[in-house]
Structure 1
């Protein structure tokens, strides 16, 4: 395994950053350097840094009275604070990936929050828990109480309409970019991954059917767009959901403390494996399966608790306080992970997973809490950000890779030049702007067409 360190072109990191080296997957070979261009190493990364959005129903929504819980035949209205949280999680991952761009500018700008930026992989796990919660909230009554083949088919069709159209567009466009690099490039590197993704007919088939991850123990070299591994993982969870929701329906009346403990326990394996395998170097194999399986199930169990909680002022008050406690603990874990010495039995990248068991608590508390954090997440701007968060996740990494390629080809854009210093903020802004239009022109029209046909 390699380490996540500053690229050779980035210079010496700012003093006082206090961020230790994080273990990552090995880097690919340095591409051949064109005449006059600066050397740019491939992008370093921590394993697992791509969020898949929690998906909400795509048909008209309404709020359901408490008396109808568990038996509602139509989807419920979104929980505003969870929608806003989706955008926060997407930006968290975006900032992590932006830190891969060569040069010293981003490191200087983000020095005070460098440990939080390095903890970006947690944004993925937050999405996984959120996805399980949202889908259980929307489909528990319809699929758990009255399971039918037709209902299952309708559910899977809705999921395909939600995630596949934009995913297919981005996969095809960036896949063609990778193919062009292979044909016209001289270094044999088509994307900054090791190993390289398969560009043959079978590779394209697996990409477009969202099954590319299922037989791999690692997320590297699996997708044309690295973050797309989580789409493949989510699709697997969707296929398993009809069976999982049957189990959730049968345990929904268990005592609330038991369900709460089970929710936290379901999210815990990804945190326990690094401890149990400390020093063996084997904690990275099949971790993605623990993350999607544990996180998704934890989200389902979390909704079973939330759905039965009384909505009293006292419950809302304590839920708001619990939100603040979990947020503080997550920040503490991020800084603790960043301070891990190189000789630590549990390295920095694995220490991050200790925050994951707190996510069911965070999301459950957010569902019923009142206060400033909830009001902020429910702001209209963040609501729109939550709606485009899936597009942000899909488009941002291709833009980053294209930027890095430009830095290797054009001397004026070499790392730490004045133009390169402008590249990072423009990539951040461009990711959000492009996501807005991708959501407006591709996601929504395609979803409407697929659900109506």
Structure 2
């Protein structure tokens, strides 16, 4: 693979797709569904008992959050790492932070306010609002902490910290976003290292989580949240650096295809091994050792469109990835509200009555109906309005060499429907029948006028004794790598 690596330049490699990487957007949908199934797992026991292998995979669904962390680091690394790391000025940093705020805050704010109001109403009515999980006080101070996405800062555990239990990861990611400018400066020198070395460092970034999982079998809720976000986010950033150094060739794509399949197979094997090793003890969980494979999966899916990447890149999967953040936020709301209403009597809690078990699949599907509403009515409109506040950067046109003055000829439209204006025959062109001129300015002047108005023109190349300098090609600023469908959240 060494022949496919960039050896000198730190510019984005040929193989990195411009814009949205559809396979990674689809992977976000998988991560969201994985977390949903985990939280509904206990209620879905009558169904999961029929598929033992599926239970082994679902029980490791908490790793969907770590997958989100790594995906966020990868996408942000592609889009911002060189820019912010090269010039961490207030303007560039401010635009980045505002873009991330616009991405995660609107949907989070709506869900937080609604759930805070729900907790307040339930408690005022004399009911127990903490049937499923404990909630913080429904007061102004706590609400401000939730809305500022700082509610996890300084906390050790997850329970009782947020109105929505999965909200701990929103606070964790917000901290990572604020630390990103410093990380970008520290990691930028790695842009010149060989891709295999940086990819190895990306896998090694999760070493603390791997060692803890293998030796102690610590379940997700007992792990340190700062370690998880630090390892996952940095691993994603390093994976982005490695991806920037890889060229897309036939060999690279074949290796990526094999790597994506092999990584998934290894993950499933680890999940089955975890089920065997824990021996039915739900207080132990060794499946966290697979976090070191997540960077390999992400990079592999970025360089192939076959196999697993083809499935993840389908329209349904991509749309699921775009609403994955809203799925993540709403699924626990449904679970919390329904169980609070049904299980007010402690004797009925976790009792698998036939009627309730029959309704569980509908409960699990409800978030997939609520998420599109939250996405289209809140997340995207609010994000667009917030980003509209950012002043657009203007790029000064390149300087054009001056030429000798000559009578200017008018520019005429070649065709009303073509949208392209052509220049008439000019002085100095043999077709005009006029005496040749030493310099011709008409094409240059028309080109400058067209640049100022944004109009496309076709400028004929006059045949003169002294050639007219060709105007430099105007290159548009390439689009960001980051698709905000690759939402980064959670």
Quick check: 1:92 aligned with 2:38?
Answer: no
Rg bigger for which structure? 2
Quick check: 1:117 aligned with 2:58?
Answer: yes
- The equivalent of 1:309 in structure 2 is 246
What SS class does the counterpart of residue 192 from structure 2 fall into?
coil
- Count how many residue pairs are aligned between Structure 1 and Structure 2: 379
C-alpha distance in 2 between matches for 1:241 and 1:76: 22
- The equivalent of 1:216 in structure 2 is 155
Listed one character per residue, the Cα deviations across residues 400-426 of structure 1 (whole Å, up to 9, x for unaligned) are 112222332599999544432332221
Q: Is the 8 A contact 1:399 1:431 kept in 2?
A: yes
- The equivalent of 1:83 in structure 2 is 25
Point out where structure 2 has 5 or more consecutive residues left out of the alignment: 1-8, 390-490
Q: So what's the TM-score if we normalise by structure 1?
A: 0.77
C-alpha distance in 1 between matches for 2:37 and 2:109: 24
Quick check: 1:327 aligned with 2:269?
Answer: no
Q: Measured at CA, do residues 240 and 368 of structure 1 come closer, stay the same or move farther in structure 2, by a change above 3 Å?
A: same
C-alpha distance in 2 between matches for 1:336 and 1:162: 37
Q: Measured at CA, do residues 447 and 215 of structure 1 come closer, stay the same or move farther in structure 2, by a change above 3 Å?
A: same
- The equivalent of 1:207 in structure 2 is 146
- The equivalent of 1:376 in structure 2 is 311
Task: Indicate the RMSD between aligned Cα atoms, in angstroms.
Answer: 2.9
Listed one character per residue, the Cα deviations across residues 353-391 of structure 1 (whole Å, up to 9, x for unaligned) are 101011011111111124221111110111110100000
Q: Measured at CA, do residues 355 and 412 of structure 1 come closer, stay the same or move farther in structure 2, by a change above 3 Å?
A: closer
> What does 1:70-219 correspond to in 2, within 5 Å?
70=12, 76-101=18-43, 104-108=45-49, 110-187=51-128, 189-190=129-130, 192-194=132-134, 196-219=135-158
Deviation of residue 286 (structure 1)?
Answer: 5.6
C-alpha distance in 1 between matches for 2:142 and 2:30: 32
Q: Measured at CA, do residues 435 and 343 of structure 1 come closer, stay the same or move farther in structure 2, by a change above 3 Å?
A: closer
Deviation of residue 448 (structure 1)?
Answer: 0.6
C-alpha distance in 2 between matches for 1:367 and 1:282: 30
C-alpha distance in 2 between matches for 1:412 and 1:233: 35
Deviation of residue 112 (structure 1)?
Answer: 4.1
Point out where structure 1 has 5 or more consecutive residues left out of the alignment: 1-66
Q: Is the 8 A contact 1:122 1:356 kept in 2?
A: yes
Q: So what's the TM-score if we normalise by structure 2?
A: 0.72
C-alpha distance in 2 between matches for 1:112 and 1:300: 32
Q: Measured at CA, do residues 273 and 415 of structure 1 come closer, stay the same or move farther in structure 2, by a change above 3 Å?
A: closer
C-alpha distance in 1 between matches for 2:108 and 2:278: 39
